[in-house]
Chains A and B, each alone.
Chain A
Amino acid sequence: MSEATSPVSRSGQGHGPPSLRGGHGGGAGPSMLFHHFETMVQQKAAVELGMWLFLAQEVMFFGGLFMAYVYYRNKFHDAFVHASKHLDVTLGTVNTVVLIGSSLTMALAVDAAQKGKRDRTRNLVVATMVLGLVFMGIKAYEYHHKWVEGLIPGAGFSGEATLGHGSHIFFILYFMMTGLHALHMIIGEGLMIMLLVWNKQGKVTGEYPSRCHAMGLYWHFVDIVWIWLFPMLYLVSRH
């Protein structure tokens, strides 16, 4: 049964005469229309809505951490101010710029895919991946720095005395939020590798650019999460 969703093969009993259902008209490459959709329009619309629902779910997933952040920032305000000063604003700003840049390249990649430019799509996706790796490299350096400073909660955390009561929660949230964000980026990099493979097979830029579009939505969501994390974590009352 698993082949029933594969784009080309069809199960025997569908609507209408098989001769007409099987015919896919002209056009290069294999048809990307799945068996249970009537038209490509419908399929694209379903994929787009599905991705947005997934992102709505993601907003609530990160939202629980945002809730915890707001709750504890209210409760341990001074500790949050002091702890935030131990994050490197310069690196955070550079990372913000890098990630916004990767968002731009991803948006341009989607645009290229929709216009059917296969090579341009490939180049832009690769650029996005490189920028994502730069981001994660900088992030790893920052994590290492926290380790050296002894600011990892649960592993010889030294901040409770110097930064005030509740600062450990700031760093728990820092690591959970940025860690979850980085995990999403790693997944995104993996998905982009798949996207490159599909692109090579011509399955991205043809009649069905929705995979690239969905990938773009995902990557922009990752960007948006960082847009919020940056001021929340790095910029708490810097003056």
Chain B
Amino acid sequence: MSPVMSSPPSAGAYSQRGSRSGRPVVLDYIAASHGVRSWLFTVDHKRIGLLYLMSITAAFFLGGAFAVAVRVELLTPQGDVFQSETYNKMFTMHGIVMLFFFLIPSIPAVLGNFFVPIMVGARDMAFPRLNLLSWYLYIVGASFTSWAVIDGGVDTGWTFYTPYSSSFSNSHVIAVASGIFVLGFSSILTAINIIVTVHRMRAPGMTWLRLPLFVWAMYGTSIIQVLGTPVLAITILLLGAERLLRVGIFDPAIGGDPLLFQHLFWFYSHPAVYIMVLPAMGVVSEIISTFSRKRIFGYRFIAGSSIAIAVLGFLVWGHHMFVSGQSMYGALVFSVLSYLVAVPSAVKVFNWTMTLHKGAICFDTPMLYALGFIGFFLIGGLTGLFLAAVGLDVHVHDTYFVVAHFHYIMVGGALMGYLGGLHYWWPKMTGRMYPEWLGKFAAFTIFVGFNLTFFPQFVLGYLGMPRRYHVYPEEFQVLNVMSTAGASVLGFGYLVPMAYLLHSLRYGPKAEADPWKADGLEWRTMSPPPVENFLEQPIVTGGPDESTPPASEPGTTPQLGGAVV
């Protein structure tokens, strides 16, 4: 990367207080130092964010490869590509890699790591070395799992249900579980860092009600990560103890109780869904506001609903256990509590829609992803309500209806939010613009491919096709072929951004400090930011919820609200 001169691309967009005389050249964080060591031992939250970006991209394409295997196998009703055991490993590894190694660290560890400190006006995370440690823990966890994948994989399903995982499976349960155990602490460290940064590192004037909605969402996510992840860790420890020592903890044949495993597992793993989708909601809140050229509607409600989702998410785990043998009383309570989560979720969708209302909407690439998110999240959320109803859940439990539902939330929701955020902040992270037409093309391809892949699965599930089987009756083939065709389109759609984003690193046009004419502190510093994020101490005088007078120079789009520096 070539050094970027201190003089910002647009003086108006970059109106730091005070004079910058005496420091003619300011290197950005990428150009500030060179060499592999400067990256592997960095404590700069921005560089760590990029390390995470590279790692999880690798994980994404690994998980994607398993998805391809699954979809290829399901092209025909016979099991003609894989043995049953191999197929079990394929969908298990797809789930584990995508969930634990891609989705959970995706937005928090990449975009959160990179932008939360900048958005609150800090120089770095509160604990930079812990931040680096968290990346190394991720790598250690990923190494365990990669070794297991190379050496034969794991076949328990991503949920590791006992007693299959503890007493029967012959695959690499311990290695993968250890990987997830280590990974959990990586996730916890990032979350602690974000919470402390939000509490303790805010710039003067950055009050709670001026925090960007992305920061609110990340704060809620981090609470879940800190308080939920350790329970998964201890569950894995108990599972490992049973598997290694052959002592009865969860296996009823030797005196344990598998329901306890499910309680402990879902106490983390249901809130984990919100670890994935809450940050995406934060990203979407930012994008919708920017590209509607409007102040976000109902700022406080969106912020509050992030926290509400984080807390309510801890009360509903039992809806994964409706057919597991828990008490009917428990099922009813969990069912009712699950409906409660719909309230803050609907509040968000309503407020996004109201923000769009009468806005001057620009259909740039990030906006396309955000609009896609809203549609997908709506479908995924509403089918979630079906599944929260005990009676219907008993009918469609463990069918493709569930598979389609959570893919609409996780791929249609979390991944679309992640891609939207990546495009939105790419100019800031790298200082380069990506080709807009290719971006739009990819977003459109992904939208079409996604729907073609997963909408037929709702129908399949409702008709009764169970998940996790690679042999199915003839009459399901048409829908399965549609789904596989969609997956091909979807896979192509994901390769396109990979290509043009990499290409833009070298050949993309240089980005301005504020290419979207957006609000927020991250756009008030140069692209890419300097090592300590700001050249001068930012003083915040407005927030997304405050109608400050237009801060931009005449001739540009009027800005409503936003941090004015």
Contact = CB atoms under 8 A, between A and B. Distances in A.
Q: Does a CB–CB distance below 8 Å link A and B in the complex?
A: yes
Interface of A: 1-2, 4-5, 11-17, 35-37, 42, 45-46, 49-50, 53-54, 56-58, 60-65, 67-68, 71-72, 75, 153-155, 157, 160, 165-166, 168-169, 172, 176
B128 A4 contact: yes
Contact of A53 (B125, B195, B234, B537): B195
A176 B129 CA distance: 30
B300 to A, nearest CB: 24
14 contacts: A1-B33, A1-B47, A5-B128, A36-B532, A45-B200, A53-B196, A56-B227, A60-B226, A61-B230, A64-B264, A67-B264, A75-B257, A154-B247, A168-B248
A62 B227 CA distance: 11
A178 to B, nearest CB: 14
A13 B257 contact: no
A35 B123 contact: yes
Contacts of B462: none
Contact of B260 (A71, A154, A155): A71
A2 B201 contact: no
Given A75-B257, A165-B255, A61 B123 contact: no
A121 to B, nearest CB: 24
A56 B226 contact: yes
A57 B255 contact: no
A64 B536 contact: no
B482 interface: no
Interface in B526-544: 530-532, 534-537
Given A176-B237, A176-B238, A68 B126 contact: no
Interface string B15-43: 00000001100110000110000110111
B305 interface: no
Interface residues of B, number: 60
Contact of B226 (A1, A13, A53, A157): A53
Contact of A15 (B32, B229, B535): B535
B188 interface: yes
A13 B231 contact: no
A208 B541 CA distance: 32
Looking at B27, B42, B127, the one whose CB has the most chain A CB atoms below 10 A away is B127
Contacts of A71: 257, 260, 263
B217 to A, nearest CB: 18
Contacts of B228: 60
B357 interface: no
Most buried by A among B27, B226, B229, B249: B249
Contacts of B22: 17
A154 B243 CA distance: 11
Interface string B265-283: 0000000000000000000
Contact of A14 (B123, B245, B246): B123
A57 to B, nearest CB: 5
A118 to B, nearest CB: 26
Nearest to B231: A64
B256 interface: yes
Contacts of B201: 36-37, 42, 46
A50 B234 contact: no
Contact of A57 (B26, B188, B237, B264): B188
B223 to A, nearest CB: 9
Contacts of A72: 257, 260
Contacts of A17: 22
B41 A1 contact: yes
B235 interface: yes
Given A65-B234, A168-B247, A14 B532 contact: yes
Interface string B76-102: 000000000000000000000000000
Interface in B33-90: 33, 38-39, 41-44, 47
B124 interface: yes
A13 B20 CA distance: 12
Nearest to A165: B255
A63 B537 contact: no
B537 A64 contact: no
A155 B241 CA distance: 13
Given A15-B123, A36-B123, 11 more contacts: A16-B537, A37-B201, A45-B200, A46-B196, A46-B201, A50-B130, A60-B229, A64-B234, A65-B238, A67-B263, A172-B249
B263 A154 contact: no
Contacts of B23: 13
Interface string B102-137: 000000000000000000001111111110000000
A164 to B, nearest CB: 11
Given A46-B200, A60-B230, A36 B246 contact: no
A224 B155 CA distance: 40
Tell which of B233, B247, B530 has the most Cβ of chain A within 10 Å. Answer: B247
B536 A15 contact: yes
A157 B32 CA distance: 61
B348 to A, nearest CB: 26
B530 A154 contact: no
B192 A54 contact: yes
Given A4-B44, A15-B532, A57-B230, A68 B247 contact: no
B43 A68 contact: no
A50 B192 contact: yes
A168 B256 CA distance: 10
B249 A68 contact: yes
B395 interface: no
Contact of B192 (A16, A45, A57, A64): A57
A2 B200 CA distance: 23
A60 B535 CA distance: 41
Nearest to B35: A1
Contacts of B188: 57
B503 interface: no
Contact of B230 (A49, A58, A169): A58
B200 A13 contact: no
Contacts of A64: 230-231, 233-235, 237-238, 264
Contact of A153 (B231, B238, B247, B534): B247
A153 B245 contact: yes
Contact of A49 (B41, B196, B246, B257): B196
B231 A1 contact: no
A15 B255 contact: no
A62 B238 CA distance: 12
Most chain A C-beta atoms within 10 Å of own C-beta, residue among B39, B41, B43:
B43
Nearest to B244: A154
Contact of B124 (A15, A36, A157): A36
